[in-house]
Structure formats: structure tokens, C-alpha cells
Chain A
Amino acid sequence: MKYFRTIYTVWLREMRRFWRDRSRLIGNLAMPFMFLAFLGVGFNSSFSIPGLEGGYIGYLAPGIIGMSLMFTAIFTGISVIFDKQFGFLREMLVAPASRWSIVGGKILGSSTITLISGFMILGIALLMGAIPLSAITVGNILLAMVIMVLTAFIFVSIGLIIASKMNSMEGFNLIMSFLIMPLFLLSGAFFPIENVPGWMQVLAGADPLKYGVDGLRSVLIGVGELPVAMNVLVLFAISAVMVLIASLLFRKMEA
């Protein structure tokens, strides 16, 4: 009971901060929207993916949802660095509460925010006609939600792992260039991984986001490389490992 209370407390704080900073939400939506609107419409006019009936914009939409999930999740996870800098982490760590619950609350809070932004991009894609309305069934929404939640767990944990090793945002450019961008570009958000050279398929295979994007694409537009169940299984396995590593590192953190 006490554990849930701590989880809820930390989760609630994340929600409060998120709600208070609504301008951030708009900012979070702007980039994915522009990708969909300009890149999607742009490519739609000149290119088509072999064996794909719908246009390119439909192909791109699940990829952009995946991108938004990853960016939001890593950013919210990494925000623990600000808690370190502003000293609030000490307030949490010195309380008579279990560290597992604190990190659990943090992961759940950041994942909730990630999920909200994922669904908002989904809404935009539906409004733009990128994803057919016929794809929206209760079963599909639940399935998409499972994929989004697992993807969020993975990248929030990665954010937390980075935060446990860094004391300021100074190194963030490096993380952006050498972690976030490759994960994004190799995820198959823009193009099918099946058709790329072998070396790139190997790299993409190690990218957790690939399984999220592929799963969402299967669910939302009915096109996918792997079966949905396979994607969910891989995401589940990676998220379990990542959450565990993040929790262990967080437990050892000294404020």
C-alpha cells in the first residue's frame, strides 16, 4: 500500500509539471506534425513504396508516432538531471520511501506523458487522413497502446540510465548525435528495413524503436515486416531489461 502511495506521489508530480508546462506539449507536437505534413506530403507526390497500396504519408505516420514516443520518453527520463541540479532528487531520496517505488513512479509518470503525446500524433495523423479511420477499432487501439507503453518504458529507462551517469546537460549534444539520431534513422520510420543492405539490417535489428514502429505500422495500416506478436514480445523483453537496469542505477544514485 505504502509502495503504491509513493509511486502515485511521484507520478502525480510528473503530471503536474507536464500540465503546468503546456507550451512544451505544443512544441512536442510541432516537429512530428511538420514531418508528417511536409516530408509526408512531399514524398507522397514523387515516391511510392513497392508493394504498398496506400500513399507514403500513411507509411510515414506510424514512424512519426514512434519518433515522438522516443523523443518524449528520453527527454522526460533525462529530466532527472534537472532534479539533480535543482536538488529535488535529494528531497525524494531522503524520504522514508522505497527507491524502487520512486523510480517506478518516475517511469510510470514519464511513460504516461509519452503515451499522451503518442496518441496526440495519432489523432493528427487521423485528421490528416494519413491513417484510415477504418483502422480505429477497440482492439487496434488497445494493441497500439500496449506497443506505445512498452516503447515508452524502454526509452524512459534509457533516459534514466543516461541521467544516472550525467550531472549536467552539457553532454546532451553528443547523446543527440550519437544515440537519438541513429536510433531514429535506423528505426524504419522513413523506409522499409526489408529492402536495405544486410549491414544496415543488422544495425536496425538492434534498434528497439524498429520493433515499436513496425508493430504500430502493422496495427494501424496493416503493413509490417514482423508479426505483431513478435514485435510485442521483443519490446517486452527489451523493456524488462531496460527498466531493471534503470532501477538498479537509480537505487545507487547519490544525491
Chain B
Amino acid sequence: MAIIEIKNLTKKFNGLTAVDNVSLDIEEGELFGFLGPNGAGKTTTISMLSTTLRPTSGTATLAGFDIIKEQHDVRQNIGIVFQDPSLDTELTGRENLRFHGRMYNMPHDLREQRIAEVLELVELTDKADIVVKKYSGGMKRRLEIARGLMHHPKVLFLDEPTLGLDPQTRRRLWSYIHNLNKSENVTMMLTTHYMDEADKLCNRVGIIDRGKIVAVDTNHNLKKVVGGDVVTLGTDNPQKLRAALETEVKVGKIEVKEDSITFVISDGDHFIPQIIKCAEHRGIDISSVHSDEPSLEDVFIHYTGKRVRDKEADEKDNFRDHVRQRQKMRR
């Protein structure tokens, strides 16, 4: 049984449908990414799942408890890191955690033990007795994550956990989140509008746009839908390599530059060694190999038809469009 089962969940605000008939299963232990642009309905969905917002129709169960009929049990089994900060900045880190432990009805000894554990996990032990208003943005976020995990929730919701943080802090938070998902054995549902965040962090991603789920799958499978890998080979003789590729291996449109060629190939991992062998055979030197998966941004564009960047797309995008077109025709 899935730990979160969402069934036809809908939320309307004054006739505007923020979440439109969403159905989704999330399995225990997953680090699930909920990806979409701002205003797509991510936070509204999380609010309904965490019982702070009543659905207009549909429902969901969380660890077997209904989010409408068994709110109390749902709350006991979830932790939330809100999009906006939610700490008492006049209290110390430890006092914030104690407040949380008491509100979640944890017995004294267990509470103190968990406080020590979670502080250790987010490396805030030595800062625990400092007032939170003296914390940096990243420290506050870590404390909130620690707090969300403190009462052993089965599910932890992370709503845009790295919003407004600098790139270095974001990357550190990613590694915390990734490690906690394993070490605390907690299912995580993360919302983000950063494509790279979902890409780096999540096993499985649901793409939401205008309140509707447009695709749910593993990152790998989603990217496969877009096309193959984008491969760039560095060589001193690109024209000759091009000729070789065109006869020996089936690849898409080849883009030739002065000292490299770029092309899209499905299942590049498998074909690249073959290409190199073939080039060597014909006496062409290959100086570098660079293979890139399509990004989740490409996936997003694929499903929603919307570009994040403006119309003035660069050549690479045109190139990808072309490939996509070809694949559709092939199907």
C-alpha cells in the first residue's frame, strides 16, 4: 500500500481551480518531487495533505489515515517544512524543538533524546542554545528540517525548501535532505520550481501545471520521453567524423563545429563506446567525450508546451525541437 494515496483531489478558490482532480500514489521511503512553476498548485496540494486546507472534493489517505476524517492522526504522522519560515526567532534552537516536542506529546526523555539526535543530524548541536534570530538563512532551514523530523513522522513535506538560499547553501541542504531520507527512513514529498533541485534530489517526479498532473515517473524515464542523450565529441576532424557517423550509426541531426560535433542519440551510454571504436578504426582522433541527459526543464517543456526561456531560443533548443519532431514522426 502506498503511504500517500491521493484520489481526485480538487481545490477551488472563488471559482478558480487551484488543484484539479489530482490522483497520485507515493510509496514508502520515496523522495518524491512535486515540480511545477509558481502558482501551479503545489503548495495548495501540500496544505490539503497536511490538513490545513479542506479540499473542495476528493480526498487522500496518509499512512492509512484520511486527511478529512482523521486529521488528528494525519497530523501526528507528518512533519512539515513550510515554504516561509515558521520559527520563533526569540527562542533558541533547542527551545523551538522543545516546544515542538511538547506540542506533539512526546514524553520528556524521548524528547530530549530526539532533540540531541536531530541537532546532530543537521549539525546544529553547537548552535542549539543561541537565539534563532542570530541564525543564518541556511541554519534556520536546517533547524526547521530537524524539527520536522523530530517526532518520527512517516512523511515529511518540504515546501520549496531552498527558496531564497544561496547556491552553496542549497547544495548543502540537498545533501542533508538526501541523507535524512535514507537514515531516518522517512518518505519525503518535496515541492520545487527549481528543475535542477528535483533532478539532483528526487527518485520520482510529478510535474504539475495549472493544477493538473501532466506526468509522473522516474527522472530517467521522463527524460527518455524527450529523446536521447546530448553527446558532444571533440575532434580535430569533425567533417570526417560526421561522415563516419552518418554511415555507421543511426543518430539524429548532427551539428558540426570547428573542433567538435554534437548530436542526440538514444541510449548514449551504450552507443558511445561503439562510436569511439568506429572512429578509431577510421583513424579519427577523438579528444573529448561529453554526454548530457536532457534536463527536467526539457521534460517540462515537452509536456506543457511552455518554454521557460523566451522565444528567442538558442540553437541547441532548435536542435532538440527538431529531434523531438523526428521522434514523434517515427512513432
Q: Which residues of A contact B (CB under 8 A)?
A: 2, 5-6, 8-9, 12-13, 16-17, 20-21, 86-88, 90-97, 254-255
Contacts and interface: CB of A to CB of B under 8 A. Distances in A.
Interface string B82-106: 1011111111000100011011110
26 contacts: A2-B105, A5-B105, A6-B102, A12-B102, A13-B99, A16-B91, A16-B95, A17-B88, A17-B91, A20-B91, A87-B87, A90-B86, A91-B99, A91-B147, A92-B103, A93-B52, A94-B51, A94-B52, A94-B75, A94-B80, A95-B75, A95-B103, A96-B104, A254-B52, A254-B53, A255-B52
B45 interface: no
Contacts of A86: 85-89
A9 B72 contact: no
B50 interface: yes
B86 A91 contact: yes
A72 to B, nearest CB: 17
B76 interface: yes
A88 B76 CA distance: 18
Given A20-B131, A97-B105, 5 more contacts: A17-B91, A87-B87, A94-B52, A96-B75, A254-B53
Main secondary structure of the interface of A (DSSP, over half): helix
Interface residues of B, number: 27
Contact of A6 (B85, B91, B103): B103
Nearest to B53: A254
Interface of B: 50-53, 72-73, 75-76, 80, 82, 84-91, 95, 99-100, 102-105, 131, 147
From A13, A92, A95, A96, residue with most partner B Cβ within 10 Å = A96
B103 to A, nearest CB: 4
Contacts of A2: 105
A68 to B, nearest CB: 22
B82 A90 contact: yes
Given A94-B50, A96-B72, A255-B52, A5 B102 contact: yes
A21 B103 contact: no
Nearest to B74: A96
A88 B87 contact: yes
Nearest to A1: B105
Contacts of B105: 2, 5, 96-97
Contacts of B72: 96
Given A5-B102, A92-B103, A94-B50, A87 B75 contact: no
A103 to B, nearest CB: 14
Contacts of A87: 82, 84-87
Contacts of A12: 99, 102
Given A13-B91, A96-B72, A88 B86 contact: yes
A247 B161 CA distance: 32
In the complex, which of the residues B86, B103, B104, B147 has the most CB atoms of chain A within 10 Å of its own CB atom? B103
Contacts of A17: 88, 90-91
A254 B189 CA distance: 22
A254 B48 CA distance: 12
Given A90-B52, A93-B52, A21 B102 contact: no
A36 to B, nearest CB: 30
Contacts of B51: 94
A200 B90 CA distance: 43
A94 B86 CA distance: 11
Contacts of B75: 94-96
Contacts of B87: 86-88, 91
A171 to B, nearest CB: 22
A150 to B, nearest CB: 28
